[in-house]
Structure 1
Amino acid sequence: MKHNIGIDVGGTKIEGIILFNDVIVYKKRIKTQANLGYNKVLSNISKMYFMLIEYIEASDHTLGIGTPGSLMKDTGALKNCNVSVMNNKKIKMDIESTLNREVVIENDANCFVLAEAIHSEQWKTTTIFGAVLGTGCGAGIVVNGKLIEGRNQLSGEWGHMSIHQNGLKCYCGRNGCAERYISGRGVEDIYESMTGKRISMEMIIEGYRQGKEYEKQVVEDFLDDVSFSLANIISIIDPHLIIVGGGLSSIDIVLQQLPERVSLMINRPQNMFNIQTALLGDSAGSIGAAIRGATTEIEE
């Protein structure tokens, strides 16, 4: 039996994980250091991989890597990636050249929903929407046990669904993308534009709890925008289960308030949809990458 290695590349950290017989046997994190450029990110991915194979003494293994954004089928370039130095880069080819082996590259939110979905008793007979609310925001869809990627591998890209037609400019080139409003970085940007100072999402939430004016306005708008975005998803695909993960999902007020707010926006009672918090914490992405690497090899 092979080890299954998964690497999750995020805006601030790279996490590597090793599964054996579906059990985590090793986990490691290092900084992404995207501020130092694309080649540094590649170098750190390579560094992580070699630390992982050293742990298993280079025994037989599969490898899946999760990244923000989507690979374009025609060019192989990465698009809509919130780690901006990775945008328009042929990351699959570059990583394979660096590691001297084939790799499976998958959207990080797809990895997240795949890992979370298999923990649902009915995942092979249901539609599951997995939403990631973190530094950025992403999503993936699993239907009857299959990851839905779409013709152009854009399925689930709710971060680039416009929720304010004449809204803030997004790094993708469009205006009003959800990414600019319902991600941690987006909320921090909005607060800075209102007050002239930048504070962390954690400090904004703390200010909201204390009843501070600007923090309360920003958080209320954030909760409304998340609810509006989820209401749109429910109206389009009517999923059996919505799983919310990422760092912002661990903020208690988010999961406490979303069901009622979403219910008001779709004019349906709360028992007609199911919103749950992620079970695997912030390691779901790397676990899903490992699963994706293993299952893609089986499919081939």
Structure 2
Amino acid sequence: MAIWGIDLGGTKIEGVILSSLEDTTPIVRQRIPTEGEKGYDHIIDRIAEVLALLKKASGMAPEKIGICTPGVLDPGSQTMKNCNSTALNDRPLLADLEAKLQIPVKMANDANCFALAEAHLGVVKQQAPGARTVFGIIMGTGVGGGIVVDGKILEGKHGIGGEWGHNFLDLTGGPCYCGKTGCVETVIAGPSLERFYFEQTGKKKLLRQITEDQQHDTHAAATMERLYEQFGKALSVVINILDPDAIVIGGGVGNIDSLYTKGRERLASYIFNDKVEVPILKPLLGDSAGVFGAAALVG
């Protein structure tokens, strides 16, 4: 039976139909702008529109659908929280979608869908096929994570399983939008690293430029050293608690090659083990991870 998924993003809504979790070649794929500035009800209408496009293009209809969201459904209140698409916060998105679409809906946030997709369809399946526990990391404009155990997302009592980006790391990271200070996100997210460089130099550089300039710019080198050291500290806590069989790093910061060598070396200094044996992998699915992960929710 085909599996259906929709990725609800801040700028786009994408839908896909896959024949199974064994095949990443879409039967149908559709994408439209989110138009989130028009409000909550409009976002729900746009999701329904993507589903209608998938039905029309395929001549099929789903029995259920998975949806990747930019936030978490609180298990207690059954309303959304921690959404960067703020129109969704405090809204009963799951109930409203099931009423609108008239089919069962399974939802998970983008980090969880990333981890699920890479576990079932991506790099983990290819390079660590026996992995039972997978930790998927998003390191870009923010920092998040998702945990997959035996092919299923570990959501947790509060729906925040894997959210290592809001663990305390270092006070110098400063205030975080979540209300705390020194979160992982405030230290090793891309904008946080760029801010650190600016604070040292008074000059603005993109992270890509900082990475490229580290051989001849001492402040760029210091910024990268900060990344390696703090990455090692932050990830060591996850490994000490979860001890995953594989780790996958997505997001723009995850594209930095030296993170997998120098960052791994720093990690070895902090974990409760003689050496780092867990594979730390680059993802394969790119921006398809969200929509493929959504489909995997019902696969």
Give, in angstroms, the shift of residue 48 of structure 1.
3.2
User: For 1:194 and 1:14, how far apart are their aligned partners in 2?
Assistant: 39
User: For 1:36 and 1:214, how far apart are their aligned partners in 2?
Assistant: 43
2:50 aligned residue (48, 57, 60): 48
Distance 1:250 1:34, change over 3 A: farther
Whether the 8 Å contact between 1:168 and 1:180 is mirrored in structure 2 is yes
Aligned positions of 1:53-132 closer than 5 A? 53-118=55-120, 119=125, 120-123=128-131, 126-132=132-138
Give, in angstroms, the shift of residue 28 of structure 1.
4.0
Whether the 8 Å contact between 1:11 and 1:135 is mirrored in structure 2 is no
Whether the 8 Å contact between 1:246 and 1:282 is mirrored in structure 2 is no
Distance 1:96 1:87, change over 3 A: same
Instruction: Please name the residue that 1:138 is paired with.
Output: 144
Gaps of 5+ in 2: none
Measured against aligned partners, the alpha-carbon deviations of 1:159-192 in whole angstroms (never above 9, x if no partner) come to 1112125742222222222222333344345455
Aligned residues: 290
Whether the 8 Å contact between 1:247 and 1:282 is mirrored in structure 2 is no
Whether the 8 Å contact between 1:62 and 1:290 is mirrored in structure 2 is no
Give, in angstroms, the shift of residue 88 of structure 1.
2.9
Whether the 8 Å contact between 1:11 and 1:83 is mirrored in structure 2 is yes
Give, in angstroms, the shift of residue 233 of structure 1.
0.8
Measured against aligned partners, the alpha-carbon deviations of 1:184-235 in whole angstroms (never above 9, x if no partner) come to 3443454556566665433443344x63344433333233222211111111
Instruction: Please name the residue that 2:251 is paired with.
Output: 246
User: For 1:86 and 1:162, how far apart are their aligned partners in 2?
Assistant: 26
Q: Which segment drifts farther, 127-136 or 42-51?
A: 42-51
SS in 2 for 1:225: helix
Instruction: Please name the residue that 1:173 is paired with.
Output: 179
User: For 1:201 and 1:40, how far apart are their aligned partners in 2?
Assistant: 35
Whether the 8 Å contact between 1:260 and 1:270 is mirrored in structure 2 is no
Give, in angstroms, the shift of residue 289 of structure 1.
1.0
Q: Which segment drifts farther, 71-80 or 96-105?
A: 96-105
User: For 1:44 and 1:223, how far apart are their aligned partners in 2?
Assistant: 41
Give, in angstroms, the shift of residue 270 of structure 1.
3.9
Give, in angstroms, the shift of residue 254 of structure 1.
2.3
SS in 1 for 2:297: helix
Instruction: Please name the residue that 1:202 is paired with.
Output: 208
Give, in angstroms, the shift of residue 64 of structure 1.
0.7
User: For 2:208 and 2:43, how far apart are their aligned partners in 1?
Assistant: 26
Q: Which segment drifts farther, 275-284 or 210-219?
A: 210-219
Give, in angstroms, the shift of residue 284 of structure 1.
2.0
Structure 1 vs Structure 2: percent identity of aligned residues? Answer: 38
Instruction: Please name the residue that 1:231 is paired with.
Output: 236
Instruction: Please name the residue that 1:161 is paired with.
Output: 167
Whether the 8 Å contact between 1:65 and 1:293 is mirrored in structure 2 is no
Gaps of 5+ in 1: 295-300
1:151 aligned residue (151, 157, 160): 157
1:255 aligned residue (254, 260, 282): 260
Q: Which segment drifts farther, 225-234 or 92-101?
A: 92-101
- The amino acid that maps onto 2:251 is G
TM-score when scaled to structure 1? 0.81
User: For 1:35 and 1:198, how far apart are their aligned partners in 2?
Assistant: 30
Whether the 8 Å contact between 2:240 and 2:272 is mirrored in structure 1 is no
Instruction: Please name the residue that 1:20 is paired with.
Output: 19
Instruction: Please name the residue that 1:184 is paired with.
Output: 190
Q: Which segment drifts farther, 232-241 or 182-191?
A: 182-191
Whether the 8 Å contact between 2:68 and 2:109 is mirrored in structure 1 is yes
User: For 1:261 and 1:100, how far apart are their aligned partners in 2?
Assistant: 50
Give, in angstroms, the shift of residue 35 of structure 1.
5.9
SS in 1 for 2:260: helix
Instruction: Please name the residue that 1:297 is paired with.
Output: none
Give, in angstroms, the shift of residue 93 of structure 1.
3.1
Give, in angstroms, the shift of residue 75 of structure 1.
1.5
